[in-house]
Structure 1
Amino acid sequence: QMDRWILSEYYRLIDEVITNLDQYEVAPASTAIVRFLDLLTNWYIRRSRRRFWKSESDIDKATAYATLYQVLVGLTHILAPFLPFMTEFIYQNLVRSFDKNAPESIHLAAYPRADASKRDKDLEANMEHVRTAVTLARSIRQEKNLKVRQPLTALTWVIKDEDAGKKLADFFPVIAEEINVREVNIIHNDEELVELSALPNLKLLGKKVGKKMNDVSNAIKALDTETLRAVETGGTVKIDEFELTADDIIIKRSEKPGLAIQSDQGMTIALNTNLTPELISEGLAREVVHHIQNLRKESGFEITDRIQLALSSDSETLRVAIESFKDYICRETLALELSLNETTGGTELKTGDHIFAAKIRRVETPSA
């Protein structure tokens, strides 16, 4: 799915660049390139890291590398008119070093051609919706000071169009991994997420109700949720002799307890922010992984190096988290062995209010 998407976006880029350059519109062509670079680096490559790094050389890994190579070579050709010397250098290393029969210079090679049959516009649109949802959810986490490493129970996505919701269901695993939630749900209105309250629109109502403003205002504030939703969808409500519409009433939304919500461009995302002991433990384990990964980097280890890992902590909460998620910690840090001792004499680290020590040692593995 990710491969089909980035290739579709690549052919979209070719079309946009050629169309604009044919009209001598350099700025829009450049903007399209910058957009594609963001999609390639911050979404496709980052989302595909595990495929690139995994130890087994299977079809999935080979496909990821082949797709990335195709896109990088094509992008180099697209950039040639903009960056002639840099792209020539890249071309010689990326293409000519492997294919001596390729044109001697990138500027002697054919420019990429647009091919509408290679695009999947539905996939492009769906992925854009997914990326927008992820951006909103990250914004909620930042606002509520919830690190992405802290798992949450659920993300709820309000999509009014039921058919669109069904199409986006295939992307739930992507969203769940990006936002670190256990499950993703789609609903078609926000009834489950918010509580409604109402205030009078004093500017408009003054002329309509005159001296009865105080009584009408109190009646508006007392309106129930069902009535307010009816008014929102074009209905009216009668108070005394006055027929009131949505223009006369200011309807306010407030998050239900345990939820955090953001909306943008007609999209609403809600995160369940209630933390169970299990979620807290998993969050601590992820923080430990983060520190060990940094320690590996500071120690000059290669990405593929296997290690022995020794941890110690006086925090019972942290020790429980490490024991509960031992397999996860080992898998993420490439640790062949993890020991949890009273003391390790290693590097002192801190996650939240919990202090622990870690010692890592590279393990020599037999070469294949």
Structure 2
Amino acid sequence: MIPANMEMANLTKKVKLNFKVLGKKYGKQMKEIAEATAKLSNKEIAELEQNGIYILNLPGGEVQLTTDDVEIITEDMPGWLTANEGKLTVALDITVTDELLKEGIARELVNRIQNIRKQNGYEITDRITVEIEKRDEINDAVTEFSNYISSQTLAAGISLVDKLEDGIELDFDEYMVKVKVEKTR
């Protein structure tokens, strides 16, 4: 979260005028006000957010802008989602790192393995073994998150194998992988 009084280099804010409200107050100055507000810096917009008022010194006279006269919009930056409400702006980094991608694959495998357990009628306490056919795109995720996958699915073991003759073909996101789930004896 970014306080309104803190300028962030990559965060671009714009002021959108409420013409209905401002038109009643300033009428003929509206064009001048629109041009001036289009040139406001992030620092000046932050001042308006923080204080609730900003004074524009225009050739046609002084104009007092309040937060009721405008809507402050935060423009999305590449790799970020932003939203504002009053004096608060939230910027969320939506970059998917390799680590997040692997964790997502592991979580999806857990979900799919749990569904296979359910389809096979296994009891909630039944231990299983899991074989997963090797695929370059998922091998690292399975290896790195094998303990997580095992603990979530009650798997006594998870193996990456070169080829599975039988098993269930899983298709999620852009991945296709064959998985074999069996109850341990």
Match in the other structure for 2:152: 332
Alignment of 1:74-93 (within 5 A): none
Match in the other structure for 1:196: 13
Q: Normalized per residue, which structure has more strand?
A: 2
Match in the other structure for 1:300: 121
Q: Compute the RMSD of aligned alpha carbons.
A: 2.9
- Report the Cα offset of residue 205 of structure 1: 3.6
CA distance in 2, matches of 1:250, 1:272: 23
Alignment of 1:306-317 (within 5 A): 306-313=127-134, 315-317=135-137
Q: Deviations over 1:311-341 (max 9, x none)?
A: 104x311122212212221121111111111
- Report the Cα offset of residue 346 of structure 1: 1.0
**Secondary structure of 2:53 counterpart:** coil
Alpha-carbon contact 1:227-1:237 (below 8 Å) kept: no
- Report the Cα offset of residue 213 of structure 1: 3.3
Matched, 1:234 2:52: yes
- In structure 2, the gaps of 5 or more residues are none
Alpha-carbon contact 2:3-2:89 (below 8 Å) kept: no
Given candidates 72, 89, 96, the residue that maps to 1:251 is 72
CA distance in 2, matches of 1:228, 1:265: 12
TM (normalized to structure 1)? 0.43
CA distance in 2, matches of 1:317, 1:310: 16
Q: Deviations over 1:88-123 (max 9, x none)?
A: xxxxxxxxxxxxxxxxxxxxxxxxxxxxxxxxxxxx
Letter in 1 for 2:142: I
- Report the Cα offset of residue 251 of structure 1: 2.4
**Secondary structure of 1:236 counterpart:** strand
> Which structure is higher in RCO with an 8 Å CA cutoff and minimum separation 6?
2
- In structure 1, the gaps of 5 or more residues are 1-157, 159-186
Alpha-carbon contact 2:5-2:46 (below 8 Å) kept: no
Match in the other structure for 1:223: 40
**Structure 1 stretch displaced more, 345-354 or 241-250:** 241-250
- Sort the Cα spacing of 1:297 and 1:330 in 2 relative to 1 into closer, same or farther, 3 A: same
- Report the Cα offset of residue 237 of structure 1: 1.7
Q: Deviations over 1:46-76 (max 9, x none)?
A: xxxxxxxxxxxxxxxxxxxxxxxxxxxxxxx
- Sort the Cα spacing of 1:349 and 1:250 in 2 relative to 1 into closer, same or farther, 3 A: closer
Q: Normalized per residue, which structure has more helix?
A: 1
CA distance in 1, matches of 2:56, 2:105: 55
CA distance in 2, matches of 1:334, 1:190: 50
TM (normalized to structure 2)? 0.79
- Sort the Cα spacing of 1:188 and 1:302 in 2 relative to 1 into closer, same or farther, 3 A: farther
